[in-house]
Amino acid sequence: MKYIYLLTKDHLRFLSILTIVLLQVLQVQATNCHKAIDLHCGDYVEWDTKYGHNNNYDYSCFHHSLSGFHSKEVIYRIDRDHIYYGHDIEITVHDKHGNGLDAFIIENCGEYDAKCYKYKENFGHYTFSIENASPDKEYYLIIDGKSTSGAFSVTTQCYKKEFPCHDAYPIDCGTTQYGDTYDGNAYISDYSCFAHDQHGYYGKELMYKVTGRSGKTEDIEITFEDLDHKGLDIFIMENCGEYNQYCLYYKERYGHSPSKEKITIQNADPHKEYYIIIDARDHHVTGSFNLSIECHGNDFLCEYAEDIYCGETINGNTHHGNAMYDDYSCFKHSFTGFYEKELVYRIYTEGDEHQDITVEIEDLHKKGLDVFIIENCGYDDYHCLTYLERTEHSPKTESLTIYNADPHKEYFIVVDARNVTGEFNLTVYCEEDELTCEYIMVRKTFMT
């Protein structure tokens, strides 16, 4: 049996209205995000909703259903590349002619994840605040009206927050800590280091505060090991806070960068605090690492010096010494980076006469051990008289002579090296000098 249906004009009119309603419903479910206009931090824009699109008819904000928006709307997308995590965003909207425009802040955009974050009906002049903006979300501003259109202005400001100093983990001198940025917070997103503006750090970071220091001027040696080769970056901050923090050092790293990095803060001020931050640009990048801290005092520890007498030979090995002295200032030369162990000797002389003192070193395995002659000892009054800067190609035996050494001063010998330790014989020769001079002469003698 066949049925034939005849559609009257009323039926057609009903279907037409139903089609329009369905189309409007579908348009409500999927906002046209691709037509959004980018809005950057610091922007000021003026526009008119009559130039917009009529795609959104209702908004569901919290427990309120706001419908009947049949006028055109303008959609702005807050440029996520210019929003730093943990910053606050302020968006000020102004209805220029008081036309009764409404404003909505939408979090994300799409059929399933769109969320009405905030709204203001008949906003007039109003400021929205988005606190702790997240780079994992997109924020949209929509200017709409139920039955009206009109001109408006928008001002956007992004405010940098103070570094979370109180969240820093303490790390003592002489210790190593394991960390993983996965366990951190994506709070800090930009750094100002020297003339460079390092921004866009959307990954999680871990912050450490160097503790357990001596209370004196010292060198702080930081060793970082990237265990997963993720290219984590390093920042060294002096102090921490909105007004007094200063970026001392930074190292941008990549997946192919060396797994270990060594950084030294020379002559660290005992009255300042030092922070280490491990971070990454990409918010998808996290990784594990080891962080080691060594603190080396710069004042010579005289009490650890071993006496060596005129005419005596002492066998020593810097492997059994202490890594206490990192740099030496001799004449106009500054020698830094002496991170290996050293041995210190006090030259013991008898009598009250001026003498010529010769110090001879025999580098038994030609490791390139260096020798420094220090007058007096202590952070305030020590003075480097002379030195032998040596390499593995230097003669096995070399010597230094101090002419007319003052019997009322103390002289010390330091055997050190930048990156090696080794065994040596050290001999001191003393010979009385009949001449008294107002200055000390130094002679270097080389023997193969």
Identify the CA nearest to 401 among candidates 437, 355, 369, 435: 355
Dist CA 274 CA 245 (whole Å)? 10
In the prediction, which pLDDT does 86 show? 54
Mean pLDDT of the chain: 81
Task: State the pLDDT at residue 161.
Answer: 60
Q: In this structure, are 120 and 133 located in the same domain?
A: yes
Looking at the structure of the chain, the number of domains it has is 3
φ and ψ at residue 80, rounded to 5 degrees:
-65, -25
Query: How many C-beta atoms surround the C-beta of residue 392 within 10 A?
Result: 12
Same domain membership, residue 25 and residue 39: yes
1 domain-assigned: no
Q: Percent of the chain having pLDDT more than 90? A: 42
159/290: higher pLDDT: 290
Residue at 328: amino acid letter: Y
- Out of 279, 297, 315, pick the residue that ends a domain: 297
Produce one character per residue of 84-123: b if its CB has 16 or more CB atoms within 10 Å, e if not.
bbbbebebbbbbeeebebbbbbbbebeeeebebbbbbeeb
Q: Give backbone dihedrals phi and psi of 102, rounded to 5 degrees, phi first.
A: -115, 155
What pLDDT was estimated at residue 64?
A: 64
**Residues 262, 383 share a domain:** no
Sheet holding 423-432, edge to edge: 313-317, 423-432, 355-363, 397-405, 441-447
| 437/313 same-domain check | yes
Please state the rounded mean pLDDT for residues 335-362.
Answer: 88
Average pLDDT estimate for 311-332: 83
Lowest average pLDDT, out of 237-241, 285-289, 367-371, goes to: 237-241
Distance CA 245, CA 53 (A): 47
What is the reported pLDDT for 408? 86
Tell whether 2 is covered by a domain.
Answer: no
pLDDT > 60? residue 158: yes
Residue written as token pair 């921490």? 240
Asked if residue 3 is part of any domain, the answer here is no
Confidence band, pLDDT 50/70/90 cuts, at residue 22: very low
pTM beyond 0.85, yes or no:
no
Query: Which pLDDT value is given to residue 59?
Result: 79
Range of the domain at 284: 165-297
Residue 183 lies in a domain: yes
Instruction: List beta partners, residue 329.
Output: 334
Sheet of 306-309: strands edge to edge? 306-309, 343-348, 411-416, 370-375, 383-388, 328-330, 333-335
Rounded Cα distance between 418 and 336, Å, is 8
Query: Does 416 lie in the same domain as 341?
Result: yes
- Is residue 329 domain-shared with residue 399, that is, in the same domain? yes
CATH of the domain at 95: 2.60.120.510
Q: Are the C-beta atoms of 91 and 79 separated by less than 8 Å?
A: no
Could you give the percent of the chain with pLDDT greater than 70?
Answer: 78
Q: Quick one: 319 and 278 in the same domain? A: no
Mind listing the pLDDT tens digit for each residue in 95-148?
999 999 999 998 887 655 567 889 999 999 999 988 777 767 889 999 999 889
pLDDT at 401: 93
Residue 88 lies inside a defined structural domain of this protein:
yes
Average pLDDT over residues 28-53: 81
For residue 202, how many other CB atoms are within 10 A of its CB?
22
Give a yes or no: residue 439 inside a domain.
Answer: yes
Who has greater pLDDT, 264 or 303? 264
- pLDDT of 240 > 80? The answer is yes
Which of the residue ranges 291-295, 323-327, 440-444 would you say has the lowest mean pLDDT? 440-444
Beta strand ranges found along 6-95 (DSSP E): 37-39, 44-48, 58-61, 64-67, 74-78, 88-95
| Claim to verify: residue 442 and residue 379 sit in the same structural domain | yes
Average pLDDT over residues 409-436: 87
Q: Which residue type occupies 230?
A: K
- Same structural domain for residues 443 and 317? yes
Q: Is residue 4 part of a domain?
A: no
Q: Which residue has the higher pLDDT, 171 or 138?
A: 171
| Spacing of C-alpha 356 from chain mean position | 52
Question: For residue range 286-306, what is the model confidence (pLDDT) as tens digits?
Answer: 999 999 999 876 556 666 789
Q: Are residues 183 and 268 in the same domain?
A: yes
Residues 218 and 286 in one domain: yes
Q: Which of 223, 232, 299 is CA-nearest to residue 264?
A: 223
- Domain stop point among 159, 191, 207: 159
Q: Do 328 and 384 reside in the same domain of the chain? A: yes
CATH number, position 411: 2.60.120.380
Q: Bridge-partner residues for 383, per DSSP?
A: 375
Last residue of a domain, one of 238, 273, 297: 297
DSSP β-bridge partners for residue 427: 313, 360
Looking at residue 202, what DSSP letter applies?
Answer: -
Q: How far is 117 from 109, CA to CA, in rounded Å?
A: 11
User: Residue 286 falls within a domain, yes or no?
Assistant: yes
Strand partners, 429: 358
